[in-house]
Amino acid sequence: KIPVIYDTDPGIDDALALALLAAHPRFDLVAITSVHGNASVDLTSRNAQGLAALFKLDIPVAVGAAGPLLDSRRRDGALHVHGDDALGGIAHQLPKPTRPADPRPAHQLICDLVNERPGELTLVAVGPFTNLALALRQDPGIAGKVKQVVVMGGAFGLKGHSGNVSPVAEANIMADPEAADEVLTAPWPVIVVGLDVTQEVIMREADLARLCGRGDGAGDLLWQATRHYQKFYDARDSIGGIYAHDASAAAVLLVPEAFTLRRGPVRVALEGIATGQTIQDWRGEQSQPTPWTGHPAQQVCVAVDAPKVLALFDEIF
């Protein structure tokens, strides 16, 4: 089993990813940490707790950062995408939390768990990367003790995919570019699952409908939650389904063979019209130092076998 800490801003696609992390037999979900992003951290934390109860998880859920590292950064949220409760109107139907929130802030819980289990834990981060950056700032030593980091974020301009909050920026990066740059350049191994692949994995109505009647009510609620999301995409992109962005981040751990990875250091543009753009240097060694020099080669997903990812939803509940 793969032991995972899930850092999330639920969020409809965050809930779909949580379904995989909570219910797939090959995952051992150890803790959930919430973060600002799709909505305020109050709302995403409440959603995280309710979803933990829905999936019958008896694990710590800790509240994370309320905003980006720099106060000056935009705080747009994405309620227009995810609905007023950030869960497509189903949040009030979630069961009451079965345990109180962990008293520690999210970044502290991450540091504590990683230090308790050096070399074992994988971090899956699918909101702005603020909690991970705060954890690294508090205890840089955790970088050498985390087994793997997987992030949903970024856009590398492949296969005609652009950013989703600017022509070049993806929402999780734009919500805290400084945190993203710190996390992507830290000396730990990161797999970056960006829009270039998450927008290739389209969950169609039939894929979502297969969740109904399963998971002791959880599948039906997920189906209902995705109705709002589907309307948003129907109006904007007409893709005939939804992007389950965050679920692809969980999937890369279960079916790595479904993803093509490219190695090279990744930086985030922090100023100007390209703010929030993720840029990988895969050219190899350069004669002159560049902004990528001296940073670890991370793995960016550049292609995906979508049916293999979608099939994972038939392996849960």
Task: Name the residues that contact ligand BDR, by CB under 6 A.
Answer: 11, 13-14, 38, 78, 81, 126, 152, 164, 170-172, 245-246
Cα 197 to its chain centre, rounded Å, is 13
Task: State which H helix or E strand residue 243 sits in.
Answer: strand 242-243
Task: Give yes or no for a contact between 195 and 172, defined as CB atoms under 8 angstroms apart.
Answer: no
Residue whose token pair is 């009510």 = 217
Reading the block at residue 203, the tokens are 């969950």
CB of 273 to ligand BDR, least distance (A): 19
Q: Which of Ca ion, ligand BDR, none is residue 219 near (CB under 5 to 8 Å by kind)?
A: none
Which of Ca ion, ligand BDR, none does residue 78 bind to, with CB < 5 to 8 Å depending on kind? Answer: ligand BDR
Rounded to the nearest angstrom, the gap between the alpha carbon of residue 187 and the centroid of all alpha carbons in its chain is 20
Q: Least separation, in Å, of the C-beta of 172 and ligand BDR? A: 5
**Angle, nearest 10°, between helix axes 12-23 and 245-254?**
20
Residue whose CB is less far from ligand BDR, 54 or 111? 54
For the range 217-223, what are the long-range contacts, defined as Cβ-Cβ under 8 Å and sequence gap of 24 or more? Answer: 217/54, 218/19, 218/23, 218/54, 218/55, 218/317, 219/317, 221/54, 221/90, 221/93, 221/94, 222/15, 222/16, 222/19
| Partner that binds at residue 77, options ligand BDR, Ca ion, none, CB closer than 5 to 8 Å by kind | none
Q: Shortest Cβ distance from residue 8 to ligand BDR (Å)?
A: 8
CB 152 → ligand BDR: shortest distance, Å? 5
Give the DSSP letter string of 268-299. Answer: E--SSTTTTBEEE--S---SS--TTTTSPPEE
C-alpha 117: how far from chain center: 22
| Cβ closest to ligand BDR, residue 99 vs residue 231 | 231
What element of type H or E holds 249? helix 245-254
x-marked contacts with Ca ion along 211-250 as a string, rule CB under 5 A: -----------------------------------x----
Q: Is the peptide bond before 11 cis (omega within 30 degrees of 0)?
A: yes
Q: What angle do CA 124, 130, 132 make, to 5 degrees?
A: 45
Task: Say whether residue 83 binds Ca ion (CB under 5 A).
Answer: no
Determine which residue in the list 14, 112, 170, 207 makes contact with Ca ion, applying CB under 5 A. Answer: 14
Rounded to a whole number of angstroms, the minimum distance from the CB of residue 79 to ligand BDR is 10
Rounded CA-CA distance 59/39 in Å is: 23
Catalytic residue among 82, 107, 228, 245: 245
Q: Tell me, yes or no, if 228 is annotated catalytic.
A: no
Task: Work out what residue 164 binds among Ca ion, ligand BDR, none; the CB cut-off runs from 5 to 8 Å by kind.
Answer: ligand BDR
Q: Could you tell me the two tokens for 102? A: 């962990």
For ligand BDR, the closer of residues 126 and 312 by Cβ is 126
Q: Which is nearer to Ca ion, 188 or 229 (CB)?
A: 229
How far CA 103 is from CA of 55, 85, 254, in Å, comes to 21, 24, 31
Minimum CB distance to Ca ion, residue 165 (Å): 13
Kindly tell me which of 138 and 166 has the beta carbon lying closer to ligand BDR.
166
11 touches Ca ion by CB under 5 A? yes
Residue 73 or 295 having the CB closest to ligand BDR: 73
Among 5-13, 159-167, 194-202, 263-271, which window interacts with Ca ion (CB under 5 A)?
Answer: 5-13
Question: Would you tell me which residues interact with Ca ion (CB under 5 A)?
Answer: 9, 11, 14, 126-127, 246
Catalogue the active-site residues: 245
